[in-house]
């Protein structure tokens, strides 16, 4: 891979910081790393490998000379800067949901549909975190027989709400331990010692936007427009790493033995059958690494063609930053 110049838009947020970390870990040959953020962060200095990088203000002119830009900003900022990034000649790999359902923008999980990234027109979308984790867990089975439907329940960590969400959970736990009333700002209600079965805004059909993402995005990633997904998203008092319970139905029956073998063989996935005396992963097991761990693969008791499993993955890593860097690596290796 030749040396590439990379920008990170939203470099001071949780995902942006993780993108810088993953670039270092993956040993991407970076010529210039340009860290872009709001004006209030401009001038701050951070280390990348053994060199000091000064954070710059994100402006339309800030992308000139870059080969790739990794986006870690909200939808409105992503839409604002995308034209300037494209005009600069850089490829924009966006972690927001701004372009995920745009038919002109590839939506990519490299292990599943990496070749789609080659058809970009300057912008590539990173899928929703739970969509990535869930589809990584079942992609091996999908290769044996196409998945017709998925029933999912997500157990999403505070990390899904960024640094503010993680800090609020930690502060609430500390407040409860001190006998004080927890402060609620980042979430609709107290998260510590609680669960919140509603994430994101209403979609318009009694589901939330977060709950519809797995179906809408899954159809594009698996190239299966008929895929049906029923999803309930729950915020749980976990700092980092999402967990998902999945029941999938395939076009043809897949044995549990074959399903386990397919999951174990799929790149980026770790099958758990006996890990520290248990047959399942937990969020703590999967934090700060890029594998999706899958366990408790078993026969569905309702549908003979159904398979039920449990999976966990780091929302900030494979669910966001690492997947974006992997897309960059996939493109750069083929440039």
Mean pLDDT of 167-188: 98
Q: How buried is 318 (Cβ within 10 angstroms: 0-12 exposed, 13-18 middle, 19+ buried)?
A: buried
Q: How confident is the model at residue 280 (pLDDT cuts 50, 70, 90)?
A: very high
Mean pLDDT of 67-95: 98
User: Contacts from 199-202 at CB under 8 Å and sequence distance 24+?
Assistant: 199/154, 199/156, 199/160, 199/233, 199/234, 199/235, 200/233
Q: What is the mean pLDDT of the chain?
A: 97
Asked if the model's pLDDT at residue 102 lies above 90, the reply is yes
| Percent of the chain's residues with pLDDT above 90 | 99
Asked if the model's pLDDT at residue 98 lies above 90, the reply is yes
Can 233 be counted among the known catalytic residues? Answer: no
Asked if the model's pLDDT at residue 144 lies above 90, the reply is yes
Q: What is the pLDDT of residue 193?
A: 98
Q: How confident is the model at residue 262 (pLDDT cuts 50, 70, 90)?
A: very high
Q: What is the pLDDT of residue 207?
A: 98
Name the pTM for this structure. Answer: 0.97
Q: What is the pLDDT of residues 306-325, one digit of tens each?
A: 999 999 999 999 999 999 99
Q: What is the pLDDT of residues 285-304, one digit of tens each?
A: 999 999 999 999 999 999 99
Q: What is the pLDDT of residue 335?
A: 87
Q: Answer whether 329's CB lies under 8 Å from 28's CB.
A: yes
Q: CA 101, 162, 70 angle in degrees (round to 5)?
A: 55
Q: What is the pLDDT of residue 117?
A: 98
Mean pLDDT of 81-86: 98
Q: What is the pLDDT of residues 203-236, one digit of tens each?
A: 999 999 999 999 999 999 999 999 999 999 999 9
| Percent of the chain's residues with pLDDT above 70 | 100
- Rounded to 10 deg, the angle between the 209-221 and 129-144 helix axes is 40
Alpha carbon of 6 to those of 2, 32, 96, 140, 314: distances in Å? 12, 6, 18, 32, 23
| Catalytic hit among 120, 129, 130, 312 | 129
HSE-up of residue 145 (Cα within 13 Å, Cβ side):
16
Q: Which domains does the chain have, with CATH numbers?
A: 4-127+320-334 (3.40.50.720), 131-315 (3.30.360.10)
| Catalytic hit among 120, 231, 233, 242 | 242
Burial 8-19 (b: 16+ CB within 10 A, else e): bbbbbbbbbbbb
* DSSP classification of residue 197: -
Q: Where are the alpha helices (DSSP H) in the chain?
A: 14-25, 75-88, 110-113, 129-144, 162-177, 209-221, 256-265, 283-286, 322-334
Give the SS3 label for residue 278: strand
Can 312 be counted among the known catalytic residues? Answer: no
Asked if the model's pLDDT at residue 83 lies above 90, the reply is yes
Asked if the model's pLDDT at residue 6 lies above 90, the reply is yes
* DSSP classification of residue 201: S
Rounded distance between C-alpha atoms, residue 280 and residue 158, angstroms: 21
Q: What is the pLDDT of residues 20-51, one digit of tens each?
A: 999 999 989 999 999 999 999 999 999 999 89
Mean pLDDT of 255-284: 98
């Amino acid at each position: 891979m030749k040396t590439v110049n990379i920008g990170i838009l939203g470099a001071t947020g949780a995902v942006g910081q993780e993108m810088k970390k993953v670039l270092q870990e993956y040993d991407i040959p970076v010529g210039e790393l340009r860290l872009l953020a709001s004006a209030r962060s401009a001038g701050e200095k951070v280390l990348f490998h053994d060199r000091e990088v000064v954070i710059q203000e994100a402006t339309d002119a800030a992308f000139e000379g870059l080969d790739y830009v990794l986006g870690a900003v909200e939808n409105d900022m992503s839409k604002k800067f995308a034209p300037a990034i494209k005009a600069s000649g850089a490829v924009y790999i966006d972690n927001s949901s701004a372009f995920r359902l745009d038919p002109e923008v590839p939506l990519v999980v490299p292990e599943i549909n990496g070749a789609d990234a080659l058809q970009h027109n300057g912008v590539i979308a990173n899928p929703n975190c739970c969509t990535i984790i869930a589809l990584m867990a079942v992609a091996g089975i999908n290769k044996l027989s196409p998945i017709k439907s998925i029933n999912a329940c997500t157990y999403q960590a505070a990390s899904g709400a960024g640094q503010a969400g993680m800090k609020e959970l930690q502060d609430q736990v500390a407040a409860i331990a001190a006998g004080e009333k927890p402060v609620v700002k980042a979430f609709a209600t107290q998260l510590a010692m609680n669960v919140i079965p509603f994430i994101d805004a209403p979609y318009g059909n009694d589901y939330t936007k977060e709950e519809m993402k797995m179906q809408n995005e899954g159809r594009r990633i698996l190239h299966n427009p008929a895929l049906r997904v029923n999803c309930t998203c729950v915020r749980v008092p976990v700092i980092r790493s999402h967990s998902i319970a999945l029941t999938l139905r395939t076009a043809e029956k897949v044995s549990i033995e074959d399903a386990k073998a397919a999951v174990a063989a799929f790149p980026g996935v770790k099958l758990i059958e006996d890990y520290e005396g248990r047959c399942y992963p937990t969020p703590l097991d999967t934090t700060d690494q890029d594998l999706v761990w899958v366990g408790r693969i078993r026969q569905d008791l309702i549908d003979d063609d159904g398979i039920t499993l449990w999976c966990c993955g780091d929302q900030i890593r494979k669910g966001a930053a690492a997947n974006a860097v992997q897309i960059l690596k996939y493109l750069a290796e083929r440039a």
